[in-house]
Structure 1
Amino acid sequence: MRAAVVTRFGGPEVIEIQDLPAPAPGAGEALIDVELTDLIFVETAIREGAHGGFFDVTPPYVPGNSFGGVVRAVGEGVGADWIGKTVVGRTASFGAHAEQVVAPAENLQELPAGLALETAVAVAGDGITALMLEELVPALAGRKVLVTAAAGGMGVLLVQLAHRAGAQVIGAARGRAKLDLVKAQGADVVVDYAEPGWDKQVLEATDGHGPDVVFEGAGGALGATAFEIVADGGWFSAHGAASGGFAPYDEAEAERRGITVKGIVDLRADTTSTTVTTAQVLDRAARGDVAPVIDRVFPLDQLADAHRAMTGRQLVGKALIRIQ
């Protein structure tokens, strides 16, 4: 089978398309013919060798986690009725950017009637995190909410959720095309954080008070600035690292100012207190509560180009990878 392989840590050029032996499902697993996979920013950082404390991977490895496709075979303990079903799911670790993949059957969800596979794959991964944040955050009605990296795959969903919850939404992104997208998703105010003084624009939009809630998906210096302007007694999620690292903040200052901070550990499946399931995400997508915006679908042969487009901030919304 054909698969993308990260041959060593480095730039997009380390990704090669290789022929690998087809996997076989073990006990509790299913074998899936993959049609589409998701691509998220953190995968580009992992490819470069970052986030080793969170993701245990050593090259060579097949990247990718979330996928959509058709179940070809099942292992011991998995019902044969799965065979032939169109599903979305996630691997136990990596391996999704390949023509076939094995995954725990418990990680699979049958595609709901009427929901396109592209939509399901685009929303499944980001949607889990977005709905986790929705479950963790205090009630948003009447609150002033800042979403950074608001034109990214998850940022779009968070803008939609905050808008539907009755918040005043401020979306921060880079460039007119992205700001227009964020505005179309329900943001009341949009701010270009490529411009100096963007934080002052946020403060002006909140009457000098600062946002009550910050969904921080940019990380780095942008995330640090967002933390500086969150209102005392506010709520802050440091869940994104698109700038190379999660938003740095002073725990003592957060305590002094009464700010509740949620980090990546609060959003990992093995540590979170939330109860969000893929089935819930797909149901919300089928009802239109969350609607991913897909910018481009790259063929598997162009996975390296997809990484370049993502790190070059060229995408407005999601990128997917078509495997076959």
Structure 2
Amino acid sequence: MPKAVRYNEFGGIDVLRVDEVERPVPGDGQVLVRVKVAGINPSEAAIRTGAVAHIFPSTFPSGQGSDLAGVVEEIGADVGGFSPGDEVIGFSQRRASQAELVLVEVGDLIRKPANISWEVAGGLYVAGVTAWGAVHSVQLEQGETVVVAGAAGGVGSLAVQLARRAGATVIGLASESNHEWLRSHGVLPIAYGDGVADRIKATAPNGVDAFIDTHGNGYVELALALGVAVERIDTIADFAAAAKHGVKTDGGAEAGPGAKVLTELVGLIADGNLEVPIAKVYPLAQVREAYTELEHRHTRGKIVLEP
């Protein structure tokens, strides 16, 4: 029997387990995918704890995960464009990607280019679409300056590259260990912590036009203190501050049709114009260890699971 990540109640990492489950059977418009790699994301941890149950209600037992890349195993009725054996990238809207076999709606799959690794393909969707949405929401123009907080994380590492492609000068807030990586991608790195506002002002003497917060913990207030207009601030991590100050929370679902954005990102990666750093690959059985590392919030890029 195939295996899948499951949990029976809201809680910490200890509620996660890997169970044997019934083999899924594709229905109309569905594709059964044998997963090669599935991504993990902070939003899944929030869903698992119940902290956002008012937005993402759960039924138990619950699966977990959206990102996936794998090989088509079987197709249901009315499925065109895919055949068993095809290599695909996609996403599960059922929180079920962290598994050996996953049912995916045909419209949520695209073909995987041969020159994109399984690790990159499997960890792309959530971080990529969220970064795309955040960058587009702040409406960058050529020559403007944007600050990205959490610039080396799963979303931030993509947001800084997309912001550079938009023609902006990008200031990336990250730990010292990630500064060389940021410089290599045309980003001006700054250490976070005490004095960060002064360091930003020194790096951007003409001011900051936009601010993308992928971390939370006071960065919305920092952006306002720097004089950034409310409509040019986007946070994907501090919804309380967004509600208080009226800044944007675009990313993820707000980014538009997922498969369309995913196709655009995959094209950039395949052409060598976008890098998805992979921090670590864990076997599916070590899902608890993977989320433990994720919640330390010090990785560069993505952590992924390999069934």
TM-score (norm 2): 0.90
Provide the C-alpha distance between the structure 2 equivalents of 1:80 and 1:163, rounded to a whole number of angstroms: 34
Q: Percent identity?
A: 28
| Number of the residue aligned with 2:197 | 199
For the residue of structure 1 that corresponds to 2:124, the secondary structure is helix
Verify the 8 A CA contact 1:218 1:247 in the aligned structure 2. Answer: no
> Which runs of 5 or more residues in structure 2 are unaligned?
none
For the residue of structure 1 that corresponds to 2:239, the secondary structure is coil
| Number of the residue aligned with 2:186 | 186
Q: Is the aligned partner of 1:263 residue 2:262?
A: no
Q: 1:23 to 1:222 in 2, by over 3 A?
A: same
| Number of the residue aligned with 2:123 | 122
For the residue of structure 2 that corresponds to 1:282, the secondary structure is helix
For the residue of structure 2 that corresponds to 1:309, the secondary structure is helix
CA offset at residue 214 of structure 1? 0.8
The AA in structure 2 aligned to 1:294 is I
Q: 1:246 to 1:267 in 2, by over 3 A?
A: same
For the residue of structure 2 that corresponds to 1:70, the secondary structure is strand
For the residue of structure 2 that corresponds to 1:53, the secondary structure is coil
Q: 1:116 to 1:230 in 2, by over 3 A?
A: farther
Verify the 8 A CA contact 1:220 1:246 in the aligned structure 2. Answer: no
My pick for the range that moved more, 228-237 or 304-313, is 228-237
Q: Is the aligned partner of 1:228 residue 2:225?
A: yes
TM-score (norm 1): 0.86
CA offset at residue 184 of structure 1? 2.8
Provide the C-alpha distance between the structure 2 equivalents of 1:273 and 1:120, rounded to a whole number of angstroms: 18
Give me the CA root mean square deviation: 2.4
Q: Is the aligned partner of 1:237 residue 2:234?
A: yes
Verify the 8 A CA contact 2:281 2:305 in the aligned structure 1. Answer: yes
Q: Cα deviations across residues 23-53 of structure 1 (Å, max 9, x unaligned)?
A: 1111111111111001111111112111223
Provide the C-alpha distance between the structure 1 equivalents of 2:195 and 2:47, rounded to a whole number of angstroms: 31
> Which runs of 5 or more residues in structure 1 are unaligned?
255-260
Q: 1:28 to 1:275 in 2, by over 3 A?
A: closer
Q: Matched residue pairs, number?
A: 306
Q: Cα deviations across residues 120-167 of structure 1 (Å, max 9, x unaligned)?
A: 223333222223334444243211110011111111111112223332
| Number of the residue aligned with 2:67 | 66
Verify the 8 A CA contact 2:235 2:242 in the aligned structure 1. Answer: no
Verify the 8 A CA contact 2:138 2:211 in the aligned structure 1. Answer: no
Provide the C-alpha distance between the structure 1 equivalents of 2:119 and 2:93, rounded to a whole number of angstroms: 21
Verify the 8 A CA contact 1:128 1:277 in the aligned structure 2. Answer: yes
Q: 1:73 to 1:182 in 2, by over 3 A?
A: same
Provide the C-alpha distance between the structure 1 equivalents of 2:230 and 2:10, rounded to a whole number of angstroms: 41
Verify the 8 A CA contact 2:129 2:252 in the aligned structure 1. Answer: no
CA offset at residue 250 of structure 1? 6.4
Q: Is the aligned partner of 1:163 residue 2:164?
A: yes
Which runs of 4 or more aligned residues in structure 1 lie more than 6 Å from their structure 2 counterparts after TM superposition? none
